[in-house]
Amino acid sequence: MSEKMPGNGISKEPLISGATVETKPKRKVCVVLVDRANYGRLKPVLLSIKQRDELQLQVVAAGTMVLERFGNPVQNVKNDGFNVDGEIYIELEGSTPATMAKSLGFAVVEFSSEFQRLKPDVVMLIGDRYEALAAALAAAYMNICIVHIQGGEVSGSIDESARHAITKLAHYHFPSTKRSAEYLVRMGEHPESILGVGCPSSDIARMLVPSITSELVNSTGSGATIDINRPFLLVVFHPTTTTYGGERKQVEEILQALSKLQMQTLMLWPNIDAGADHISKAIRLFRDREAPNWLRTITNLSPEHYLNLLGRVSCAVGNSSSFVRDAGYFGTPVVLVGDRQEGRETDEHVTHVPPEASLVLQALRNQLRHGSYQPSTLYGDGLVSGRIADGLVKLEPYVQKRLHYIYDQEAEDQHGHARTWNHNRTRRVERHPSEERRVVAR
C-alpha cells in the first residue's frame, strides 16, 4: 500500500531492496541583482533560499553590479559564497533619459536570453529600478511567475512609475510595510498574493556585528582621512530623473551646506540614473576648487560595512532610500533632501528639506543636536528573510493575472455572467449568458 507524502502529491512506496524513491524537483528561484543596494537588501534572502531544501537558488547580476567604475559589486556576491549564474551588460553610457530608456530595452533582450537558458520557476525582484522593470517584462512575457519585494510604496522620480508597473506584472508580493500592503490591494492585487510584510535589509541590521574600522574606510576612495571614532556624516545623493537637469544645482547646494559645517564627511558616488554624470562632475569640481580636508568620496561598500557606517554615523544626508528604511532601524538622524523619496513612509528620525543650502545646514545642525532616535521597526523586524523563503516554498506559481476587485466571489456582473475560481484563486467568466442577453454582431 502506498502512502501520500505530505504536501507534494507524490506517492511513496514502502522501501524494499533495490527500490527508488521519487522526489519532488527543487523549485528554481532566480534572484535578479541590479545594483549595490539590491544586494544589500537581498543578501539575507539569498541565504534563506540556500538553506531551504525545496528551493534551488539562481543569481543573475546586471546593471551597475557588473561595472568596474561602480566597484564591481558582483565580486562581493561571489566573495560571500554565492554562485552567480549569469552576468549581463545592459547599461548604455550617457546618464540621460534617452540612454536609460535604451538600456531598459537592451535589458529586456538580455534578461530574456538568461531566463531562457536558466529556465527558472520563479523570478524574484526587489524595488523600483528600471533594470528590474526590464526583468519583470521579460519574465512576464515568458510566462514565468514573478515575486516582487518592496511593492506598494510611494516615492518621487521615475521609480514611482517603475515600481507600480512591476507590481502589475508580479504574481506575488512581499511589501515592506502594512500601508504598502494595503495599497497593493487597492491597486487590484489579490490579498492572498501578499506573502508577508517587511524589508529583508532589517535582517542584516539585526544580526550586524560591528566590523567597520577607520582603516577599512580609508583603504578605498580618495580624499580626507576619516576617523569613524569621531562624529562624521554620510552623504548619498542620486539624481531625480523626473526633474532631469536640476540635479547639479541641487548637489551644489548640499556641498555648500557641508562646506559651512566642515565636519568630516564620507560621500558615496551616485547611481547610474539620468543626471548622475552631472552630480559626479559637480562633486569633482568642488573637490578640485575647495580642496576640502574633511571630505572623502568612495564608490562601493559591502552591505555589512555600509550598514555598519549607517548605524554609527552622526547624521545621514541626501536622498537614498536606505536613509528612510535602514537608518530608522538604528535610529540614525537623517536630513532627506529633495523629492526623490517624496511620499515614502518615514519615522521620526527623518527631517525632509528642499535642496537649499541654508535649509540643509539648519536641518543638519538640528539633527546633530538631537542625536540618535529610538530604533524603528517600520520597515521590518529583522526576521523577514525566513518568511520570504517560506512563501517561496508554499506559493503556487501561475501565469494569468486579473484585477482582484473586479472578480467578486459572490456577485454576477450586470450581464448575468456566472464566474468560478480559476487555478490562481481569481474569478473568471466561465459560462455563457442566456441567448436573449447576447449581442449579435451584424
CA distances in angstroms from 358 to 255, 256, 345, listed in the order given: 11, 9, 25
Residue 428 has pLDDT above 60, yes or no: no
C-alpha–C-alpha distance, residues 268 and 252, integer Å: 15
Question: How confident is the model over 141-164, as a mean pLDDT?
Answer: 95
Residue 433 has pLDDT above 50, yes or no: no
What value does the mean pLDDT of the chain take?
88
Per-residue confidence (pLDDT) for residue 7, from 0 to 100: 35
pLDDT, tens digit, 9 for 90 and up, residues 214-236: 999 999 999 999 999 999 999 99
C-alpha cell at position 114: 538568461
Residue 2 has pLDDT above 80, yes or no: no
Residue 257: helix, strand or coil by DSSP? Answer: helix
Residue 305 has pLDDT above 50, yes or no: yes
Residue 410 has pLDDT above 90, yes or no: no
Per-residue confidence (pLDDT) for residue 406, from 0 to 100: 81
Percent of the chain exceeding pLDDT 70 equals 87
CA distances in angstroms from 19 to 5, 9, 357, listed in the order given: 16, 19, 76
Per-residue confidence (pLDDT) for residue 20, from 0 to 100: 52
Residue 424 has pLDDT above 90, yes or no: no
Per-residue confidence (pLDDT) for residue 14, from 0 to 100: 38
CATH topology identical between 25-199+381-394 and 210-370:
yes
8 Å CB contact between 305 and 211: yes
Residue 246 has pLDDT above 60, yes or no: yes
pLDDT, tens digit, 9 for 90 and up, residues 94-122: 889 999 999 999 999 999 999 999 999 99
What angle in degrees, to the nearest 10, is found between the helix axes of 303-312 and 36-50? 120
The pLDDT-based confidence of 12 (bands split at 50, 70, 90) is: very low
Residue 151 has pLDDT above 90, yes or no: yes
Indicate the fold that domain 25-199+381-394 takes in CATH.
Rossmann fold (3.40.50)
Per-residue confidence (pLDDT) for residue 408, from 0 to 100: 55
Q: Name every residue whose Cβ is closer than 8 Å to that of residue 289 and which is 6 or more positions away in sequence.
A: none
Per-residue confidence (pLDDT) for residue 68, from 0 to 100: 92
Per-residue confidence (pLDDT) for residue 97, from 0 to 100: 92
pTM > 0.95: no
Q: Tell me the domain boundaries of the chain.
A: 25-199+381-394, 210-370, 404-436
| More confident site: 157 or 56 | 56
Q: Side chain identity at 46, as an amino acid letter?
A: L
- How far, rounded to the nearest angstrom, does the alpha carbon of residue 240 sit from its chain's CA centroid? 17
Question: How confident is the model over 1-5, as a mean pLDDT?
Answer: 33
8 Å CB contact between 57 and 43: no
Q: Name every residue whose Cβ is closer than 8 Å to that of residue 404 and which is 6 or more positions away in sequence.
A: 185, 188, 189, 190, 191, 426
pLDDT, tens digit, 9 for 90 and up, residues 336-363: 999 999 989 999 999 999 999 999 999 9
Residue 198 has pLDDT above 60, yes or no: yes
The pLDDT-based confidence of 211 (bands split at 50, 70, 90) is: confident
Residue 72 has pLDDT above 70, yes or no: yes
Provide the sign of the torsion angle of the four alpha carbons 192, 194, 198, 201, taken in this order.
positive
Residue 126 has pLDDT above 90, yes or no: yes
Residue 15 has pLDDT above 70, yes or no: no
8 Å CB contact between 266 and 234: yes
Strands, DSSP E only, in 73-204?
86-87, 122-126, 145-149, 172-174
CA distances in angstroms from 166 to 21, 117, 130, 173, listed in the order given: 40, 22, 10, 10
Per-residue confidence (pLDDT) for residue 337, from 0 to 100: 98
8 Å CB contact between 37 and 325: no
Residue 203, number of CB atoms within 10 A of its CB: 24
What superfamily in CATH does domain 210-370 come from?
Answer: Glycogen Phosphorylase B; (3.40.50.2000)
Per-residue confidence (pLDDT) for residue 22, from 0 to 100: 61
C-alpha–C-alpha distance, residues 114 and 109, integer Å: 9
C-alpha cell at position 210: 560591528
Half-sphere exposure for 385 (CA within 13 Å, toward CB):
22
